[in-house]
Amino acid sequence: MQYKIVAPKAIDSAVFLPASKSISNRALVLNALSQSSSTLENLSDSDDTNVMIDAFESESKGDNLIDVKAAGTAMRFLTALFAITPGEWIITGTERMRKRPIKILVEALILLGARITYLGNIGYPPLKIKGTSLKGGDIYLSGDVSSQFVSALLMIAPTMNKGLTIHLEGDVVSAPYIKLTLGMMSQFGVKTHCENKVIKVHPEEYKAVHYTVESDWTAASYWYEIAALTDDARVELKGLSKNSMQGDSKVGELFADLGIATEYTTDSVVLTKSNRRTKKMFHNFINEPDLAQTFVVTCCMMNIPFMFTGLQSLKIKETDRIEALKAEMKKLGYLIYNSENSILEWNGERCEPEVEPVIKTYEDHRMAMAFAPASIKLGHINIAHPNVVTKSYPRYWDDLKSAGYVIEEISQ
């Protein structure tokens, strides 16, 4: 299936953004560890969160086969959680998931006392886990590993006999996600200490709390993109906070250079046009890798050259996002170059675009959501397999329609 997307000439819309899946998935783990019977409020309705919920329901029913499908967060978090949960568990996922590395997390857990074996290729899911108590202690990790590995270890750290001290070496990727985890652990009653890339967590019990999940700043980025590309735009995004712990809340500051002003209210942000516009955009996305696709497409559509660094984690996301961006932007007539597996650059070089390009989504929700707003400049755009958005923002297409977009389903 494909969608043909036609954008309106102007936009004046209020959007109720989905809840943050990053916060939702952490809250589910912390809620379980606190043995709370409280209901978490405003949980994300994304695929990634739903597979977490399904996993907990399977556990309660005694079903030991857990299929996380394409949810990387669920794979990492549940691997750690089931490592300390009595019983025997098998965790598997999609074909792509079985190619996403998990060796660093598994080796760290085994070093701490976990009993985990690979059921397929060494270093990749599926995994067989026998839950046991972990001794804890000190562990050393390269800072450029997935922050989800670090977060997975941190959340179970208070249950370890000796607690856990994580020493991060080198540059730390996606540090705000680690800070988010530490902040939420504090909200559930566990103190942590972080200094000079050393994180200490002592043995301690989580406390049951009533918890409400805030809206997703990464989802907001696509509306910033829409506002930036539309000549006449005003967008109100509900449920966002200026003081959010989400690292992607930096999107407002970054889009200021692309002509979007952000006004913060008590329970939302309002986006309007400004006259500010950079001649070339430079940014290190090491702390906000999920925003990279949004800014690549936006800058090209605005004819603003860029150099984006800190993108090394993009190669192990739902797809190799670096190669995917190069391939799909070339269809639209933009030649993007990468170097050092962590840099994407566009110097303004163009090529002949395809006559009727169809954007591949590579089972990656962010490819669909980042490319759809390009229809504003192109007249229309075709997106293949548009249902991938259910991974994080199931109502994305409905919200676009409410804002005036015309979306036509095309059979392939």
Residue type, 378: L
3-state secondary structure of 191: coil
What tokens does 383 get? 């997106």
Contact 364, 392 (CB under 8 A): no
Rounded to 5°, angle at Cα 188 from 88 and 160: 45
CA-wise closest residue to 345 among 301, 304, 287, 288:
304
Contact 163, 157 (CB under 8 A): yes
Q: Is 144 a catalytic residue?
A: no
Beta bridge partners of 142: 169
Cα 358 to Cα 5, 217, 334, 350, distances in angstroms = 11, 27, 15, 18
What dihedral do alpha carbons 224, 228, 233, 235 form, nearest 10°? 10
DSSP 106-140: HHHHHHTT-EEEESSSTTSS-EEEEE-----EEEE
Contact 276, 256 (CB under 8 A): yes
In angstroms, rounded to a whole number, what is the distance separating the alpha carbons of residues 116 and 109? 8
Residue type, 380: H
Rounded to 5°, angle at Cα 171 from 144 and 282: 100
Q: Which of 290, 320, 364, 399 is catalytic?
A: 290
In angstroms, rounded to a whole number, what is the distance separating the alpha carbons of residues 201 and 205? 11
Catalytic residue list: 290
